[in-house]
Each structure stands twice: as C-alpha cells, then as structure tokens.
Structure 1
Amino acid sequence: MTMPLKAKTRPVEAYIALFGKVARRKDLLAGGYTAWNVKQAVSSGRIRCVSRGYYALPDASPLDLHFARHQARRTCFTKAEELGLWIIKPPPQPHVAAAHGRPVPGCLVHRVSGGQTLLDVLRQCVKCGAEVEALAVLESAVVLRQCTIQDLREAFSGREDTAGRAIIDMIDPQSQSIAETVGRYHIRKAGFNVQAQFYIKDVGHLDLLVEGVLGVETDGKRFHDTPEGWEEDLRRDNLLVIKGKWCLRIPAKVVLYHPELMTRWVRQALEMINHAQNPS
C-alpha cells in the first residue's frame, strides 16, 4: 500500500477509492485537492462528510463509517485483509489506527500519526500477530508483488526488528497459496525437511515434499472443488502411484485451522513409508 499519486485530473471520489472507502481531509489536500474541490464533491453528492476531517464514498460500509466517526482507519491485519493479503483468520476485533489513541468501540486501537505505507502495516502485523500469521501476510505481499524481499529487509533493519527478520528469512516467493505457506511453516516447525513446489515429470509441481519421500498437496476449494480440478487431481494421483510416489492430499481448512492434525498425518505417513522401505 504505497501512498497514492498526486491527484492531477482524477476526481475526488476516485482518489478516495485509492484509500478504500474513506479518506482524511489532510490526505486529500496532500493529494493536490483544494478545500473548494472537496466542498464541490460533497455538494454534488459524490462524497459525504462523515466526521470532522473524514470523507466517504456513498457506498462506504457501516464499519468504515464507524471508524471514520471515531477518527480511525483500518490498519494491521484488518488493513492487510482489505489489501487482499493472506490472512489465516480475521482478528476478533478490527484493528484501527488513530492519532488520538483513545478507545474505539469494538476495535483494537493502534496509536498512529500520519499516513501509513504498506510496510508500516506489515510491521504492525509482525508486532501484533503470531509468527505464522505474520509470515502469511509478508509472504503474500511478496508473492502478489506489492513489495520485494529487499523492501522488507530495509524496513526491518532496526535493532528491534529481530522477529521480523526471522520471518523474512522464511519467505518463499514461489508459494502458490496461503495453505501452502502455512503447511510449510508447521511441518518445518515439527522438525521435518520440506521442499516447496517440487517438480515431478508428467505430474507437475507438488505443493510440498517432506523428507524427500512424501508429497503433500494442500487443497483449497477455489482450484480443486471444480470438475476440471477434480479430473486433474485424479490424473496427478494416478501418475504418482505409477511412479511410486507417496502423497497426502490435505484440505486447506485442516492446514489452516488444525495444523496439529496435519503434522500428525505427515508423521504417520512417514512412519509407514519407512516401514515399507525397511521391513523388519
């Protein structure tokens, strides 16, 4: 989330859309608009003033209006979700940034003055969330090309950024999904060697290869719960059997919300493989 470019000929409402559904007056003025531009947009009904210094699009959600009325904005995991980054699950309370630092009903408040960049939001995620939650967000920012690993290294170069640098070292830019990222994290934490996007001739890439012998496919509904996805999975599974490759196919919801079950299956499968290869 880089700060929007100068307004130039862009309508006020289009500029607000770059921030989401609500923008601060100071951001509009910094973008090159005048108080008269803003007043005209309000008079014509293209935007509305919802709180002192905050302007919203007509289709702004009740939640966005709630934030604006308390001089607050989305931040941290709540902003990351709005940006389309990978979130394991939304936080119990929306995270908001507010310069005043006062409580906002139903929200977790971060005291933030001035604008926020994407890297500011990512730093908040590292401070607020569990390691795996922050990894999912940071890795998706790289995978979705919203920033680079070098950008992250520069942003997390301070003495207080040890945890952030450790997470950056875990990032795999080739990850294809949040389930793959989370699965890789938990299986490695369980003590196993993991290779991501391992290529097998005629089959394609496995999401994960554990200890060089066990494939793990982390299946989400988007790509697998379709007639075409089902047929492709059958083709790949048949070829894996023909090639003598073991593979677990684990639903994404298990990977994301029950990782202990996933790692138990992985451990049990590896024990079976070891027994098959080394019968007593």
Structure 2
Amino acid sequence: MDGSQGRKTRQVVAAIAAGGKVGRQKDLLACGHSEWSLRQAVKAGMIMRIAPGYYALPDADPLDLHLARHQARKTCFSKAAELGLWILNPVPQPHVAAAHGRPVPGCKVHRVKGGQTLMDILRQCVGCGSELEALAVLESAVVLKQCTVHELRTAFSRRGDGAARAVIAMIDPQSQSIVETAARYLLKKVGYNVQGQASVWGVGHLDLLVEGILGVELDGEKYHNTPEGWAEDLRRDNLLVINGVWKLRIPAAVVLYNPDLMLLWVERALDRIETASPR
C-alpha cells in the first residue's frame, strides 16, 4: 500500500474510531471517504464489514456490532450514559434507535429516522424515565456544559413539552453530583426548602442546606474514602460546629437506594433543632 493509499485508509480508520468504532457507509461517504478507501481498509484488515452499509474496527464493542447488524444505534438513556451524563438507574435493556422500528433482540427500540442531536436524546430520556431520572440527565448536560438551560428551554418549547419544562425548572447548574441532584429533588418533593451548594463562612460550600438551618453533606466513596478527603471532612465538621451549623452526613448509597431513611434523618434532625432552639 503506497503512501497516498495508506493515508486514506488511516483516515477511514480514524473516522470510524471517532464515531465509536462502528460507522455507517452513508456517513463515511458524506464525510468525503470513498468506497475504494473502505474496501482497501477491509482488505488490509484495519476495519471489518459487519453488515450491508456498516463497518467497524476489530476491537469494537460487541453490543455496537449487534446493533449495526440490525441497523440500529444507541439512544435515550443508553446513549446518554455513553456521553457521560448522569444515569440514576442502569437500564435493564439497551435503548436503541432504528428507522425500521422492528424489534432488535434484547433491546428497547425507539423508531427514529435520520441523525440524532443531543436534544433528541434528552427528549427520549424525558419520555422514557421518571421525573427524577430525567432531571439527572438534563441537569448533568448543563453541569457538564454540553448545553445551557436556555438551549433546553428553547428545544422544549412545543405544546407537548410540559413535562420536560417542569424538569428544566428544577435544574440547578451548581449541582456537583447525581447524589446531590437526587437528594435535593427528594427533599423538595416532600416540601422542604433546599438550597444547593450553600456557602458557610470559613467552611466552604455545603452540598445542601435544608430550611436554612440544617446542613447536609453527601458522602461518596470516591472522594471521602481517602486520607485527604477524611482530613477535609474533619476540618469542615469542626468549623460547622464552631459556626453553630447543624449538619447531617449522609452516604450516597442511602440517598440513592434508601431515600426514606434519608428523609427520616432529616425530619428528626429538624425536630431536634426546633426543640433545642431558644424560645
């Protein structure tokens, strides 16, 4: 393979890699690659033709290969997870988009024609998930700067988008994690006033401040189970006591998998604060 041929086949490989290791011939041709370059890359063993009109790298994910063979691709929560957005609950089946709308073994099919934008994927999440699941995805899209709240409002301005607009109204761009998003949502749903990332002088920001008097710190293992994280937690806890701020420290697992316990702790802590407050 001469220099020009080698360069063109490498460009094909790079294009397929950029698209997730599986590519449609239609898309590759639209980007300026030729059928000849595709055939040469297959001949050289650099890519595989896995179905009519579909090519893949040798190390492509088996699920992506399965979808390509059925002329489908990831969408909804499955695509949102691939984009790094916050997914509250893993989906039991991959959600896939297919123009033909026919069943794809082991998958939930969305009938979708043409390409999909981020807003298309977010719209599917709103339609498929609970309000909290939709909030986690949409809020993370804003927090991770994949879109803005204004862009969401513009995209979901149609008559049938009331549920999405209700979710958008709950978004806090200051949220630091899916655990914070879930805790804030659950506490507000039962009627508490909740402020995210509340500033306390000398301490920094509390994850949540409930009713203006109870701080809530939400502990995930990734940060807090380290010597540095533990030392910072002790520093903050001591300063909160000095500042007269009541605080609960709630594990992420409780928020996500036993939220009733979190609500009980908050209720009892607020009752205790009320009892202890001078009349």
Superposition TM-score tier, normalisation by shorter sequence: over 0.9
Give 1:212 deviation, angstroms: 0.2
Residue 24 of structure 1 corresponds to 24
SS at match of 2:66: helix
Report the CA distance between 1:14 and its aligned residue. 2.1
Give 1:111 deviation, angstroms. 0.6
Letter in 1 for 2:183: G
| TM-score, normalisation: structure 1 | 0.93
* Residues 163, 231 of structure 1: alpha-carbon distance in 2 compared, 3 angstrom cutoff: same
Counterpart in 2 of 1:203?
203
Partner of 1:138: 138
Amino acid at match of 2:100: H
User: How far is the alpha carbon of 1:202 from its aligned partner?
Assistant: 1.2
Q: Give the aligned residue type for 2:21.
A: K
What is residue 53 of structure 1 aligned with on the other side?
Answer: 53
Q: 207-216 or 48-57: which moved more? A: 48-57
Task: Within 5 Å, give how 1:34-183 maps onto structure 2.
Answer: 34-183=34-183
Alignment partners' CA distance in 2, 1:192 and 1:23:
49
Question: How far has the Cα of 1:17 moved from its partner?
Answer: 2.6
Residue number in structure 1 paired with 2:5: none
Stretch deviating more after TM superposition (29-38 or 79-88): 29-38
SS of the residue aligned with 1:125?
A: helix
Q: Secondary structure at the residue paired with 2:202?
A: coil
Q: What is the match of residue 187 of structure 1?
A: 187
What SS does the corresponding residue of 1:100 show, helix, strand or coil?
A: coil
* Distance change (3 Å), C-alpha of 1:202 and 1:10: farther
| Distance change (3 Å), C-alpha of 1:183 and 1:10 | farther
User: Alignment partner of 1:183: what SS?
Assistant: helix
List per-residue Cα deviations over 1:160-193 (Å, max 9, x = no partner): 1111111111111111111111111111001000
Structure 1 residue 246: deviation in Å? 0.8
Describe the SS at the equivalent of 1:55.
strand
What secondary structure does 2:81 align onto? helix
Distance 1:20 1:161, change over 3 A: same
Could you give the per-residue CA deviations for residues 69-94 of structure 1, whole angstroms, max 9, x where no partner exists? Answer: 11110100000001110011211111
TM-fit CA distance, 1:250: 0.9
Q: Structure 1 residues 202 and 53, CA, compared in 2 at 3 Å: closer, same or farther?
A: same
Distance in 2 (alpha carbons) for counterparts of 1:68 and 1:177: 33
**Aligned mates of 2:171, 2:128 — CA distance in 1:** 19
Confirm or deny: 8 A CA contact 2:217 2:247 kept in the other structure.
yes
SS of residue paired to 1:196: strand
Normalised to the residue count of structure 2, the TM-score between the two structures is: 0.93
Q: Which runs of 5+ in 2 are unaligned?
A: 1-7
Q: Write out per-residue CA displacement over residues 138-178 of structure 1, whole angstroms, 9 at most, x where no aligned residue.
A: 11111111111121111101101111111111111111111
Structure 1: how far apart are the matches of 2:20 and 2:272?
51
Identity %: 68
**Distance in 2 of aligned mates of 1:53 and 1:277:** 71
SS in 2 for 1:11: helix
Conserved? CA contact 2:22–2:64, under 8 Å? yes
Q: 1:251 — aligned with what?
A: 251
Whole-angstrom distance in 2 between the partners of 1:274 and 1:31: 65
Q: 1:225-279 CA distances to partner (integer Å, 9 max, x unpaired)?
A: 1110011011101111121111111111211222222112111111111111157
